């Protein structure tokens, strides 16, 4: 009986449950913004009861963060992918969402006024040559 227990212990050590890797996942509170606005990213990773070693974000335009659930401000227009890499005591996983965030440029306003600007009622012309 003691030999049987020893074999069971040895087998469980050799073939026992391995630590599970994390399953990286995240969301953002907005997917389309204007330049200068911020997005709150939420880390939805399943850590499988493993100890967190590091959380690394890449926001697609050169900025990074190691916060758990960061807020990021985009300063240039474009379409950006976001990558989250999570490292735990059980392994590593990466979630890569390509073309995930769209950052629109701020509108450019340009109005010109012609005519007699000092008298009311105004009888001049206001021209709008603004661009989106």
Reported as a single tens digit per residue, the pLDDT across 70-123 is 999 999 999 999 999 999 999 999 999 999 999 999 988 887 777 776 777 777
**CB contact set of 33 (below 8 Å; sequence gap of 6+):** 39, 74, 101, 102, 103, 104
Concatenated DSSP letters of 49-91: TPPEEEEEEE-SSS-EE-SSS-EEE--S-EEEEEEEEEEETTE
Mean pLDDT of 21-32: 97
What pLDDT was estimated at residue 44? Answer: 97
- What is the average per-residue pLDDT within 17-22? 77
Radius of gyration of the chain (CA): 28
The confidence score (pLDDT) of residue 12 equals: 45
**Residue 17: predicted pLDDT:** 52
Q: What is the pTM of this model?
A: 0.73
Q: What is the pLDDT of residues 47-75, one digit of tens each?
A: 999 999 999 999 999 999 999 999 999 99
């Amino acid at each position: 009986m003691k030999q049987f227990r020893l074999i069971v212990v040895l087998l469980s050590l050799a073939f026992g449950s391995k630590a599970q890797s994390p399953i990286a996942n995240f969301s953002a509170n907005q997917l389309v913004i204007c330049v200068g606005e911020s997005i709150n990213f939420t880390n939805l990773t399943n850590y499988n009861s493993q100890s967190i070693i590091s959380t690394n974000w890449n926001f697609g335009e050169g900025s990074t963060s190691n916060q758990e659930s960061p807020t990021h401000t985009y300063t240039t227009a474009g379409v950006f992918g976001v990558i989250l890499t999570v490292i735990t005591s059980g392994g590593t996983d990466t979630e890569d969402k390509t073309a995930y965030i769209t950052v629109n440029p701020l509108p450019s306003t340009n109005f010109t006024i012609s005519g007699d600007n000092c008298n009311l009622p105004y009888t001049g012309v206001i021209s709008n040559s603004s661009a989106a």
